[in-house]
Structure 1
Amino acid sequence: MVFLSGLGVFRNTLNQTQCALKGLPSIRLRGRGPKSLESNEEEGLSPSRFLSLAHWNIDVIVLHVGRGDIVMRDLNLFDVIKSSECGRIHYNVTDGIFVWTLHISKEQTKLQFLSAELVLRPFQTGRSRDHIRPLDTDTVIMSQSTAHAMNESSGNPVPDDAKIPDPQEYVPKRGHHLDFKNLGSSTASVQAGERQGRPNTSDTITTPIALTSSYWFKDTQQVIDFNEGRHQSFEYGRYGNPTVSAAEAKLAILDGGESCLLSASGMSSCTTMLLSLLQPGDRLITTTDCYRRTRQFIQGFLPKMNISCTVIQPNDTEGLKDALKEGDAKIFFSETPTNPYLRCVDLSVVVQLCHEKNVIVAIDTTFATPIVLRPIDFGADIVLSSATKYLGGHNDVIAGSLVGKKELIDKIRSFHGVLGGIFDPHAAYLLLRGLKTLNIRVRQCNETAMHIAQLLENHPKIERVIYPGLPSHPDHQVAKKYFKNGFGGVVSFVVKGGLKGAAAVIDGVKIPYIAPSLGGVESLIEQPTVMSYWNVTPEDRAKIGIEDGLIRFSCGIEDTDDVTNDLLQSIDKLVL
C-alpha cells in the first residue's frame, strides 16, 4: 500500500508524473510520520513492484480544506471520486479529515497527478481525457504534503529514516484540524481558523490580507465547476474573501456554531438577520432593555414591512408564554446581558418554550463574548455580536458577527450579498489580531468590573449599582447559572445628584476616555442621557428606564487598582 498525506511539499514536473506506471522511473517517498515505509528495494519505492500485486491501494489523507470543503488548486476531490471509472472507492470524512482509498487492479496501469494538491486520479486505458487540463512542463507543484515524491534521477538525498504516516495513527498537526471541543477558549482564540483556506504558497503565521475585489478563473470549465460546487474558491468580494473567511471560521468555533457571517457592523448583522428571516405578517418577540438603534429599527422600520413586535421583560416567563400563544411569532431576539441595565435571559427556559412553537432563538452576546457565555451550548439558534466591542478589542474596527446553524447562516448570507453590508478584509485582519487575546482581555475586564461593582455598592454617593455578579442584581441567579469566567466587563451605576452629579463624576476621572462603545483595551465612561439620549424627551427616557444619574463604565485592561482608585477619587469629590 502506498500512503500519501497532505502535509508538506510535493515537487515534480509534468513529464515525470503524467505517464503510465509501467516504465516510470523509481519514485521515492519521504516524509514525517510514526510508521516507517517498508520496502525490499534499497533504492527506494518502485511503483512497478506494486503492479505485481493483485491490488494497489492508494490513500490520500488530510487535505487541508475549509469547513466541509475539499479544496483543490485545479481540481476538486469530489470530482475525482465521482468520475473514477475503475476499482473500488472508499472514502469518509471525520472531523475535517478526508480519507480516500482506491483499489486498482493491475490491468489498469495509468495514474496521473492532475492537481497541485497531490491528488492521484485513476483512469482506464482509452478513457477520454478532454476534461484534463495539462500543467506547464516546467511547473513545480507545491502541495501541502509531508510526503515528497521525487524522480530518482533528481539526485536529491533521501534520509535513511524516511517515514510515511500511517492513516490509523496519524494525528493532524495543522491548527484548523485541532479538536477545539476539547481545548480551551484561549487556544481557540489563537489557533482556530487561521490556517484554513490558506494559499499553498503562503507559510505566514499571520493570516495575509487578501486585498482584492474579484477572483479570476483559469478557464470556462473552472467557472462552471465553481458554479456547480466542484471548484472551491471565491468569485467576487461581496460574496467572500479568504481573510474574512478565516475570521469567520475562528468565530464559529469560539461560539460553538456551524457557520459564521461577518458584516460591516453589529447593526448590519442585526438588520440583515431580521430582514432575512422575517416575512410580512410575521411577529418578532424581543425584550425591553436593548441597544437604542436596535429598538429604533424594530419599532420604526419593521412595522413598515408589516412585521409586528411583542416586547416583554427579559425574564418574564409568563409574558413569553402569552406572546408565543399567537401563531405568527417567528423569532425571539434579546441581548444578554442587555444594554445598559445588564439584564440576563434564562436561556434554557426561552429555548424550550420557543422551540416548542418552532420559533428561532437569536441572542446578542456583545456584552458577554463567548468567553463568558455561549448560547448555542444551551440550544440557541443564532448568536449575534457587535465585533466592534470585545471581539476586536482595540477600538479600531467596526464589525458584526452572526454564528449559528449552517442552514440559517446560509439563508442570511444569501440576503447579505444583496444588501451589501460586507466586511472589509483589512478590518478582518484587525479582528483576527484582536481575537488572539480575547480570553486574556475579557478576564481582566471582568475582574476590574467586579471589583468596581463591589466597592461602589455601599458607597454613600451611589444610589445603586447594576452588575450581574452582585446578589442585588435581579438576574444574579440566572447569570450564575450560565456565565463562566466572570460576569462581564461593563458595570452600570446611578450617581446621586442626577444629571449634574453623574456629569461631575465623569468629568473628574483621569484614566477612562469619555466615549461611547465598550469592550476595548481602554476604559470608557459615558452618561447615556447625554451621550445617547440627549435628543429624547425626559418622559420618553423614563419610559425606557434611562435615568439622568446613570453611568455606564466599560472596563479596559489597565491595572484594576489604578482604574478603581481613579474612579473613587472622582466620586469622593462629588458635592451633593
Structure 2
Amino acid sequence: MPHDEPASDATRCARSPEAPRSITEPLAPPIQLASVYQVAGLDDADALFSGRAEGFFYARDGHPNAAQLAAKVAGLEGAEAGWVCASGMGAIAASVLTLAEQGARVILSEGLYGKTTTLVARELARFGVGHDLFDPSDPDSLRDVLAEPPGACLVVVETLSNPLLRVCDLEGVASVAAEAGVPLLVDHTFAPLLCKPIKLGATLVVHSLTKLIGGHGDVTLGAVVGPRELISRIRPVASTFGQTGNPFDCWMAIRGAVTLPLRVERTSQTALELARRLEAHPKVERTMYPGLVSHPDHALARRLFPKGFGAMVSFDVGSRELADRLIRGLRDIPFAPSLGDARTTVSHPCSTSHRGQDPEVLERLGVTPGLVRLSVGLEDVEDLWNDFAQALEFA
C-alpha cells in the first residue's frame, strides 16, 4: 500500500501519531510514559546494548525521565552518575546485591533503618552473606570490625540515623573504610543538602526520593549515585531484579526537587524551634535533635551541618500508651508511617519503621515504645506548637 494512502480506521487507531514538529523545546521536562522504544535495526540494537550508542529500548533498563532525575541527584551530590530505583530500599538493595557475594560481610552501622538491617541480617543471610555492626560516631569501632576475618565488601551508614538522629562521623568512617579498601554507602535520606557525603569520602550515596527530595508525599522512588564504573554495575542488577523507577514518579520527583533548598531551610528552622520547646516540656522525657546542645553528637553535627540540622525530630513521652494518646490527641498533624511531606506528620517507630526488630536491640539503642518521630513540614511554627501543646496535655 502506498505510504500516503489513507489507512483503515483500525490501523489509524493502533498506530501512534507522528510527533509534531517544533523549533522550540518545552521549558519543563515532559513526561515520557513509553515502556518500549522503537529501534531502527539490528545494528542499532547492538549499539544500544553495548553502550556504543545512547538511547532507550525498554523502560526497565532506563528511560528519559529516570535519566534526567538520576543526573539531577548525581549533580546535587557531586557524583559522576546515578540510577533511579522504585524505592529507597530498591536503591539500597541493588547496591548491596551488586557488591555482596556468598561468604562476604556487610558492615552495618548500629541503629540503621529497620528494613536495611532486615535486608542484610535476615534476607541476605539466607544466601551466605554475613554482617557485623559498629558505632558510626566512633570510627575506631569500624577499624576494629574491619580488622576481623577478611571478606568485608561494603560499609553501610546513615548520615542521620532513623529514628534517633545519631550523626555519623562521615569523614572518620570514610577514612577507615578507604584504608581497608572497602566501599562506603551513605543513606542520606534524612539530610539532603545538609552536607555532601561524597566530598567527605563516601563511595555511594542513596536517597529515598519518596521522602524529602520528592517532598509532597506522592511518589515512591529511590536513587543511588556514585562513580560511573560502579553505577554501571548496579544498573543491570537493578534491571534484573525489576527495581527501576517508573517515568511518572520520576517526573514528579524532578518537579519536587525544584523547591528542595527552600524546604530544607524552612523545615530546619522550624524543627529546631519545636525541638527546643519539646525538650523544655515537662511531659517529654527526652528530645533527640542534632541542633540541641543536649544531643550526644551536637559538636559533630555543627561541623557537618553548618546551615541547619534537618526536618526530623524524635521525642519520648515515656510509654506506648502515652504515645498513642498523644497521637490521637493531635488535631491537625496526622500519624503517617513515612516522612518528608510538605505537611508535618508524626510516626511511631516501634509500630512502623522498626516493627519486628529484636526488642532487646531496640531497647539497647533507645528505640523505646514511647518514642515518637516528627517530620516537620512547612506550616507556621506557632500553629504546630499549639497542636503539640494541647496533645501533650491530653496525653
TM over 0.5: yes
Larger Rg, first or second structure (1 or 2): 1
Query: Gaps (5+ residues) in structure 1?
Result: 1-141, 143-199
- Kindly indicate whether residue 282 of structure 2 is the aligned counterpart of residue 460 of structure 1: yes
1:484 is displaced (CA, Å) by 3.5
- Relative to structure 1, the CA distance from residue 277 to residue 556 in structure 2 (aligned partners, 3 Å threshold; closer, same or farther) is same
- Measure, in 2, the Cα distance between the counterparts of 1:261 and 1:494: 37
Asked if the contact 2:164/2:367 (under 8 Å) is kept, the reply is no
Identity %: 36
- Measure, in 1, the Cα distance between the counterparts of 2:135 and 2:246: 36
| Corresponding position of 2:5 | none
| Corresponding position of 2:391 | 570
| Corresponding position of 2:18 | none
1:489 is displaced (CA, Å) by 0.3
| Corresponding position of 2:183 | 360
- Relative to structure 1, the CA distance from residue 378 to residue 397 in structure 2 (aligned partners, 3 Å threshold; closer, same or farther) is same
- Measure, in 2, the Cα distance between the counterparts of 1:230 and 1:290: 40
| 1:206-244 Cα shifts (integer Å, max 9, x gaps) | 111111111112234433443454432112111111111
Which is further off, 534-543 or 422-431? 534-543
- Measure, in 1, the Cα distance between the counterparts of 2:166 and 2:274: 18
SS of structure 2 residue aligned to 1:375:
coil
- Kindly indicate whether residue 337 of structure 2 is the aligned counterpart of residue 516 of structure 1: yes
Higher share of residues assigned helix: 2
- Measure, in 2, the Cα distance between the counterparts of 1:202 and 1:360: 44
Letter in 2 for 1:428: C
Asked if the contact 2:32/2:65 (under 8 Å) is kept, the reply is yes
2:29 to 207, 213, 235: 207
2:295 to 473, 479, 482: 473
2:322 to 474, 497, 501: 501
| Corresponding position of 1:151 | none
- Measure, in 1, the Cα distance between the counterparts of 2:64 and 2:211: 23
- Relative to structure 1, the CA distance from residue 561 to residue 276 in structure 2 (aligned partners, 3 Å threshold; closer, same or farther) is same
Higher share of residues assigned strand: 1
- Measure, in 1, the Cα distance between the counterparts of 2:301 and 2:328: 32
| Corresponding position of 2:168 | 345
Asked if the contact 1:447/1:560 (under 8 Å) is kept, the reply is no
Instruction: Tell me the C-alpha RMSD between the 2 structures.
Output: 1.8
| 1:353-404 Cα shifts (integer Å, max 9, x gaps) | 11111010110010111x1121011111100111100011010000011011
- Relative to structure 1, the CA distance from residue 418 to residue 489 in structure 2 (aligned partners, 3 Å threshold; closer, same or farther) is same
1:383 to 175, 181, 205: 205
Aligned length: 374
- Relative to structure 1, the CA distance from residue 302 to residue 223 in structure 2 (aligned partners, 3 Å threshold; closer, same or farther) is closer
Asked if the contact 1:365/1:373 (under 8 Å) is kept, the reply is no
The TM-score, its normalising length taken from structure 2, stands at 0.90
2:264 to 442, 447, 450: 442
Superposed, which structure 2 residues align to 1:178-189 within 5 Å?
Answer: none
| 1:416-456 Cα shifts (integer Å, max 9, x gaps) | 12111111001111111101111111211111110111112
- Measure, in 2, the Cα distance between the counterparts of 1:203 and 1:359: 44
Letter in 2 for 1:246: Q
Superposed, which structure 2 residues align to 1:273-422 within 5 Å?
Answer: 273-326=95-148, 327-369=150-192, 371-422=193-244
Superposed, which structure 2 residues align to 1:556-567 within 5 Å?
Answer: 556-567=377-388
SS of structure 2 residue aligned to 1:298:
helix
Letter in 2 for 1:347: L
Query: Gaps (5+ residues) in structure 2?
Result: 1-20
- Kindly indicate whether residue 373 of structure 2 is the aligned counterpart of residue 548 of structure 1: no
Superposed, which structure 2 residues align to 1:213-292 within 5 Å?
Answer: 213-292=35-114
| Corresponding position of 1:174 | none
Asked if the contact 1:446/1:488 (under 8 Å) is kept, the reply is yes
| Corresponding position of 2:4 | none
The TM-score, its normalising length taken from structure 1, stands at 0.63
Which is further off, 277-286 or 563-572? 563-572
Letter in 1 for 2:178: H
Letter in 2 for 1:289: G
- Measure, in 2, the Cα distance between the counterparts of 1:378 and 1:274: 21
